[in-house]
Structure 1
Amino acid sequence: MAESKYNGKQYQANNANDTLLTTPSTENNSSNGTAEGSIDLDTSNFEKDVILKPSPVWSRATIWSIVGVTTFAVVWASVAKIEQVVTAQGQLKPRQTVKEIQAPLNGVVKEVKVEDGDHIQKGESLLVFDSQASQAELESLEKIRNSLIQENKFYRTLFNAPLSPNIVEQEVIRLKLPPEISALALNRTALVTENQLYQMQLSEDSNIASLKPDQLARLQAAFAELDSRSRAAELEIEQLEKQLNQNQVQIEDAKKQLANDRRVLQEIEQRNRESIAQAEESLRIDREILESILPLSEEGALATIQIERQKQQVQDRQRDLVDRRSNGIIELENQKQQVQTRLAEIQQLEEEKSRLLLDINQAQQEFQNTIAITEKDVRDRIAENKKRIAEIDSQINKVVVDNEKRIAELNSQISAAQQTIKYQELKAPVSGEVFDLQASPGFVPKSGQAEALLKIVPDPGPDNPLVAEVYVTNQDIGFVQPGQEADVRIDSFPYSEFGDIKGKVYFVASDALEPDQIYNFYRFPVKVELDAQNLMIRGEEVDLQSGMSVSVNIKVRENRTVLSLFTELFTKKVESLKQVR
């Protein structure tokens, strides 16, 4: 619609199909004149719209066409499925990796039998090493090992079985032991021999024939000393026993005399009693006679002299009684004193007997102690010698342990030398093509480094097919899994003309490789096995070769819709807007 405005009129033009709508203009002149010669024009009466309207049929058709196309596109985008792939580049390689041939052990290369690019068969000779130095080294190592084995055998024999000093000296010289070890072995042998001597002295070992003359003399002197001390103790015991026997005889005699004295004492007591009783009876009779004749004397019947005689008789009887009593008491006391003397003598003899018994017991104890002290002294010496032997054994055991460690090291070195001799001729482990040959006659591999002498590319075949080894970026690896199908396109043969090869992912690395000079990004190695090992080129089968570069499309998702692509783009745009500051 176009509009044209003019002062006083307005027109609107349209196509032939448009309708012209006009509004008559009305000219109104101001009834009032303008003051001071000016004219006032009202332009609102001249502005009128002219509208050109399109045909409604065509506009509706256009709108519905746009709506239909849009609806169809949205429905198709939400229903249509597309195949999502991850693209990666790499090259063809044998499934078996390139074999790096390394020297099994250190050695000097004597001869190289292959060259770069040679095709070899499995088991074919590659290199020959010089084994002369290895053979000399092996003999030297075995000699040292045998010497150490013999040395340890000698030590164990020394521990388990007593050896004579002469044999030990011979072994020390034969084995060429160090001076300090030789001294330990000889000292141990001397201590063991001395303990044998002590055990013979205690009658615990009867192998006297193994003693040397000086040792036998020492043993005899020890026996003589012990016998002398024992004999002296026995003689002392015999003397004391003789004294005890004499004491026993004296005690028996004293007891017999005591019994006799006691019997005499009883007889004296009995005799005194009878004598006193007789004297008392005679005194009584004389008194009765005196009493009976006294009246007669008063009457004058008897002479006075007879009375006096009778009185004298009574007095004599009294004196006799007193004498008998006095004498009896004296005799009795004397006899009692004799009995007490006998008792004292017996007691003294008993005390002497006790002393003799004690002396005999002490002498016997001294005799036993003489043997016990001698045995204790000998056993103390044995214990001290055993302690010293244990200390020597500890030092020798350290030598044995060190020798065992050294033998183990030598065994390892001997095995290495034997392997060197065994592998003096290095053979190919697989069939393939030789490349990157580093070895040459006189070449010496660096010790301690896994340096490849050469490399072999294994021949492809049924047992070693070619596979595509590609690298997937860190952003795409999350969708790649073993078992997914893939399209492998050989860069040497354009895909549009020769097609591709189907394959399947069988290996996905669990860790990424760091960037290097070739790949400046983190990447995950992925391997794809091929369904075919050749391509049809102009009607002929052309075998694939190791090293060909390839592009692989890995099918990661097959159920994604077209609409999801737009929603993903929209989501990314929204996320990017959120990150804008």
Structure 2
Amino acid sequence: MDQKNNPYLSKLKNQLNMKLNSLHLNTSKSLEKYINKFQNLNVNTDRLNPSRLIEKYQDKFQKIATNKSIYNQVILKQSKFWARSITWVLMSGTAFCIGWVAIAETEEIVIATGKLEPKSGVVEVQMPLEGVASEILVKEGEKVTKGQILIRLDTEITEARNTALRKNLESNQLILDKLALLVKEGAVSQIQYLQQALKVEDLKSEIKTNLVRLKYQKIIAPSDGMVFDLAAKGPGYVAMTSQPVLKIVPLDQLIAKIEIDSRSIGFVQEGKLAEISIDSFPASDFGVIEGKVTRISSDALPPSPAEGKGYRFPADIVLNNQYLKLKTGQKLDLQAGMSLSANIKLRKVTYLQLLLNKFTDKADSLKSI
């Protein structure tokens, strides 16, 4: 028989090329039996003599090859064990997560923003009198002591005016003395004398005022601290009495000045603990500073539409430390004016309560639309 055209040999080779896996492949027992028997010969199929094979197993192969029911049956089946295992794992994991969310507790917090300020407040230094700066004796960030001269004003105009006033006073005083003699002789009226006397007193008063102006031609530090927000950058600066020329930040304890949204003020009370994160030093790298709420304003600040802020309550937080401590042990000192975020701890709640509260808030906000 021609080996190439033998239908039995062709079907046999097709069956032999299939990789049998007892866990995933299910064939008829008769086909599996004879194919396994053929594989146990340990002979390469390409070098096997087809004539001998067909001659020996021709009847059995013919019976198997012509049995259509063998080739129509499903040979791949999904294992029920793995399906059940995956289902149970998913159900168990879901049940565990729900139970954990319902039992595990966390801190409910209120987030507020603000900045660091000295406890005694920033001191604004204003010019008592208008004038032109001749000397700027301090720099931005420089530490100063109480009574130290900060700025000198140009005294040339004031001194020149003072000299002119003194000369004017001398001449008017001479006139007054002569009028006093004439009044006694009846040459002039008493009214003329009194008018001249009033003029002399006005000049004396103006000289005193000018002397006061000379006294205030130098700006003195009202307290110890650090120079901040210096407006006068150099000589020639024109000082106005309505605007501060510089600020002095006292070198005492810094506190966190924050503003709490009116919608979150309900559970915030004095004595609540807080964690302070400095915006310029990420908390993930530099950590946080512990603190305590010490003051809450009794009245809210008005809304600020330009800044996107509604009603909010000012509050103070006293810091446990005046520095940030790195993992290496290095300390970073805090400075007034640094912006911050405060997480105020309110109470312990479960994660489920927290999720339900968030959901309720969202639902209420949608109702108001």
What range describes the TM-score normalised by the shorter chain of this pair?
Answer: 0.5 to 0.7
CA distance 1:535–1:418, shift in 2 (3 Å): same
Query: 1:433 corresponds to which residue?
Result: 227
For the 8 Å contact 1:99–1:457, the answer to whether it is kept is: yes
Check conservation: 2:141, 2:226, Cα contact below 8 A: no
Q: Cα RMSD between the aligned structures?
A: 4.9
- Counterpart Cα distance in 1 of 2:140 and 2:355: 56
* Correspondent of 1:527 among 298, 306, 316: 316
Q: Which of residues 341, 347, 350 is equivalent to 1:551?
A: 341
Q: Does 1:499 align with 2:287?
A: yes
Give the C-alpha shift of residue 136 in structure 1.
6.1
Match of 1:124 among 148, 151, 157: 148
Closer, same or farther in 2 for the Cα pair 1:168/1:529, shift >3 Å? Answer: farther
Aligned residue identity for 2:317: V
Q: What is aligned with 1:174?
A: 193
Match of 2:238 in 1: 444
Please tell me whether residue 85 in structure 1 is matched to residue 109 in structure 2: yes
Segments of structure 1 that go 5 or more residues without pairing to the other structure are 1-57, 152-163, 179-402
Q: Which has the higher strand share?
A: 2
Structure 1 residues 34-433: aligned runs within 5 Å? 73=99, 77=102, 82-134=106-158, 140=165, 169=188, 171-176=190-195, 417-429=210-222, 430-433=224-227
2:326 alignment partner AA: I
- Give the Å deviation of 1:501: 1.5
Aligned CA distance change for structure 1 residues 82 and 116 (closer, same or farther; 3 Å): closer
Q: 3-state DSSP class of the match of 1:470?
A: strand
Residue identity in the other structure for 2:138: V
2 CA distance for matches of 1:477 and 1:418?
55
Matched, 1:511 2:300: yes
Structure 2: stretches of 5+ with no match in the other structure = 1-83, 177-182
Contact 1:105 1:416 in 2 (8 A): no
Distance in 1 separating the partners of 2:365 and 2:280: 41
Matched, 1:537 2:341: no
Deviation per CA, 1:58-99: give whole Å up to 9, x if none.
Answer: 9xxx9xx99xx69x949x84x765422111233333334443
Cα offset, 1:137, TM superposition:
5.5
User: C-alpha offsets along residues 478-535 of structure 1, whole Å, 9 cap, x if unaligned?
Assistant: 4434332211123444434543211112344433265376x43235443322111123
SS of equivalent to 2:263: coil
Assess if the C-alpha contact under 8 Å between 1:81 and 1:558 holds in 2.
no
Which TM-score applies when normalising by structure 1?
0.37
| Counterparts of 1:491 and 1:442, CA distance in 2 | 37
- 95 and 543 in structure 1: CA distance in 2 versus 1, 3 angstrom threshold: farther
Give 2:61's aligned residue. Answer: none
CA shift for structure 1 position 552: 1.3
Partner residue of 2:58? none
The structure-2 alpha-carbon separation of the partners of 1:476 and 1:417, relative to structure 1 and needing over 3 Å to count, comes to farther
Q: Deviations over 1:270-312 (max 9, x none)?
A: xxxxxxxxxxxxxxxxxxxxxxxxxxxxxxxxxxxxxxxxxxx
- Give SS of 2:258's match: strand
CA contact (8 A) 1:466 1:530 kept: yes
Runs of 4+ with >6 A deviation: none
Distance in 1 between the 2:269 and 2:137 partners?
Answer: 45
Q: Counterpart of 2:193 in 1: which secondary structure?
A: helix
| Closer/same/farther in 2, CA of residues 530 and 573 from structure 1, 3 Å limit | closer
Q: Distance in 1 between matches of 2:285 and 2:244?
A: 42
Higher helix share: 1
Number of matched residues? 267
Which of 271, 276, 282 is the aligned partner of 1:483? 271
For the Cα contact (< 8 Å) 1:83–1:559, is it kept in 2? yes
* Alignment partners' CA distance in 1, 2:207 and 2:265: 50
Q: Output aligned runs, 1:22-37, within 5 Å.
A: none
Larger Rg, first or second structure (1 or 2): 1
Q: Which gives a bigger RCO, structure 1 or 2 (Cα 8 Å, sep 6+)? A: 1
Structure 1 residues 96 and 418, CA gap change in structure 2 (3 angstroms): farther
CA distance in 2, matches of 1:107, 1:576: 57
Q: Which amino acid aligns with 1:444?
A: V
